[in-house]
Structure 1
Amino acid sequence: MTRYLFTRLWQSAVTLVIASIVVFWGVRQLPGDPALALAGEEATPERVAAIRADLGLDDSLLVQYGRFVGNFVRGDFGESTRTGTPVTELIGATLPVTLWLALYAIVVAVVVGVALGVVAERYRGRWPEWMANAAAVVGLSVPNFWLGILAILWLAAGLGLFPASGYVPVAENPASAFYHLTLPALILGTSLAAVIMRQTRASMIETMKTDYVRTARAKGLGRGRVLMRYGLRNSMIVVVTIVGLQLGGLISGAVVTERIFALPGFGKLTLDSVFTRDYPVIQAVVLIITVGYILINLAVDVLYSVINPRIRVGGAS
């Protein structure tokens, strides 16, 4: 186990270095001059040159990358070229919004997806399975932005069940915060719930065909009890894999949902920084998402052995 963790940490470090190089180079390939965007279209060449020198853009790319890595290791992401605010403050104000939204969406997706998957397997060939499959197809086919608009029109503006926009910090009022996040979380977790439902159903069907399940049934255990005790537990490996892969995607892909529901999250910060060529913010955002992906996948691999002890981590026999 220790050797496996060491290997994964080493691989993660290499991945992070490569990602930092790609991010640093890719950001500087964006069209436009950040110094000109900051100075304004009518600024004099001398003013633009002064801003470039102040931002360190006149240095070579190697020097800029070395300064970028050094600051990142110290936890210093610099200041936003657009507002002059430290990047750590911007991230600290927006990242919790997206994290709470993503975690809430995952909880909703797991509960709904696993429940529909169990129902689909338990009532195979009957109308509950057809309804669950139809719900999964809708969840995978309909774009989130369209579902979000419909939800605002029907559930928020029409029935008044949820607020159409706004955000309350969880630390100030947890009940109000989750109330405001419920509708965005439902929309964001729809496609993930559909994927979990399909995979849970498929995994449980395969599990119910195994020899140990037949043995349990032969000993007199009912189908429902076997389904929950053996089928559901083994399907959790698939669920953990999907959640691990999708959590980072939800954090980075919540841009549309945050824009629809006017949430001051990571997505809004990312879009604003891209439009204004705000190099420090873009670099910090992308690297934080990359680190999140790496840590989540490492945690998922470790959880495999917790859920199913028969799995030997690192390929050990």
Structure 2
Amino acid sequence: MTRYLLTRLWQSAVTLVIGSIVVFWGVRQLPGDPALALAGEEATPERVAAIRADLGLDDSLLVQYGRFVGNFVRGDFGESTRTGTPVTELIGATLPVTLWLALYAIIVAVVVGVALGVVAERYRGRWPEWMANAAALVGLSVPNFWLGILAILWLAAGLGLFPASGYVPVAENPASAFYHLTLPALILGTSLAAVIMRQTRASMIETMKTDYVRTARAKGLGRGRVLMRYGLRNSMIVVVTIVGLQLGGLISGAVVTERIFALPGFGKLTLDSVFTRDYPVIQAVVLIITVGYIVINLAVDVLYSVINPRIRVGGAS
């Protein structure tokens, strides 16, 4: 296991270096000139040139990349070219909002998805399975922005069950914070819950066909007990894989949900930075998401052997 961990850490480091190069190069392929966007359309060429010099945009790409990597290693992302605020402060103020939203959405998606998957397998060929499949189909087919608008109209404005917008920091008032995040988390976790439901059902169906399940049934164990003891545990491997792959996607894909519910999160910061060609903020945001993907996938690989001891990765035996 130690050998495997060292190998995965090395692969993660290489992936991070490649990702930093892609982020650095990709940001500079965005149309428009950040110096011109900062100076204004009516600025003189001298003013634009002075801003470019201050931002270091006149240096070669190799020099700019070296400065970018050096600052990142020190935890210094520079200052926003739009507001002059340190990027670390902007990230510190917005990232927790998106992380809490994504974590809440993951919990909702896992609970709902696994529950529907168990019901669909337990009552195969009967109306509970049809209802679960219909719910999953709706979750996969209907866009989140449309569900968000409907939720605001019906559940927030119509019935008054949830606030239509706004955010309360978790540290200030946890109950109020999660109350404000409930509706966005439900909307954000809908499609993920549908995927988890379908995969859980398929995994449990395959598990229930195995020899050791038939042996357990032959020894007198009831179907429900076998389903929960063997089928659900094996299906958790699939759930962990999906959650690991989708958590980073939820963080980066919460842009629409945050816009709809007016949440001051990572998504809003990203959009504002792209519109104003704010290179330091864009680089920091994308690189943090990249690091998140790498760390989450590493954690998922390690969790495999914890959930199912039969799984042995290469070099761990």
Please report the TM-score for the alignment, with normalisation by the length of structure 1: 0.99
In the TM superposition, residue 315 of structure 1 has moved relative to its aligned partner by: 5.6
CA distance in 2, matches of 1:8, 1:74: 24
CA distance in 2, matches of 1:316, 1:266: 38
Provide the secondary structure at the position in 1 that maps to 2:84: coil
Provide the secondary structure at the position in 2 that maps to 1:315: coil
Provide the secondary structure at the position in 1 that maps to 2:50: helix
- Root-mean-square deviation (CA, aligned residues, Å) is 0.7
CA distance in 2, matches of 1:47, 1:223: 76
Contiguous gaps of at least 5 residues in structure 2: none
In the TM superposition, residue 316 of structure 1 has moved relative to its aligned partner by: 4.7
Describe the superposition over 1:104-129 as per-residue Cα deviations: whole angstroms up to 9, x where unpaired: 00000000000000000000000000
Contiguous gaps of at least 5 residues in structure 1: none
In the TM superposition, residue 42 of structure 1 has moved relative to its aligned partner by: 1.1
CA distance in 1, matches of 2:309, 2:156: 46
CA distance in 2, matches of 1:23, 1:295: 17
Provide the secondary structure at the position in 2 that maps to 1:227: helix
Q: Is contact 2:170–2:177 with CA below 8 Å preserved after alignment?
A: yes
Describe the superposition over 1:155-210 as per-residue Cα deviations: whole angstroms up to 9, x where unpaired: 00000000000000000000000000000000000000000000000000011111
In the TM superposition, residue 47 of structure 1 has moved relative to its aligned partner by: 0.9
Provide the secondary structure at the position in 2 that maps to 1:169: coil
Stretches (4+) displaced over 4 A = none
**In the alignment, which residue of structure 1 is the partner of 2:187?**
187
Describe the superposition over 1:118-146 as per-residue Cα deviations: whole angstroms up to 9, x where unpaired: 00000000000000000000000000000
CA distance in 1, matches of 2:283, 2:129: 46
Q: Is contact 2:3–2:315 with CA below 8 Å preserved after alignment?
A: no
CA distance in 1, matches of 2:118, 2:198: 10
CA distance in 2, matches of 1:41, 1:57: 18
In the TM superposition, residue 46 of structure 1 has moved relative to its aligned partner by: 1.0
**In the alignment, which residue of structure 1 is the partner of 2:67?**
67
CA distance in 2, matches of 1:301, 1:315: 13
In the TM superposition, residue 44 of structure 1 has moved relative to its aligned partner by: 1.1
Aligned length, in residue pairs: 317
CA distance in 2, matches of 1:235, 1:157: 39
In the TM superposition, residue 293 of structure 1 has moved relative to its aligned partner by: 0.1
In the TM superposition, residue 236 of structure 1 has moved relative to its aligned partner by: 0.3
Describe the superposition over 1:2-24 as per-residue Cα deviations: whole angstroms up to 9, x where unpaired: 11111111111111111111111
CA distance in 2, matches of 1:234, 1:23: 37
Q: Is contact 2:2–2:316 with CA below 8 Å preserved after alignment?
A: no
CA distance in 2, matches of 1:229, 1:100: 31
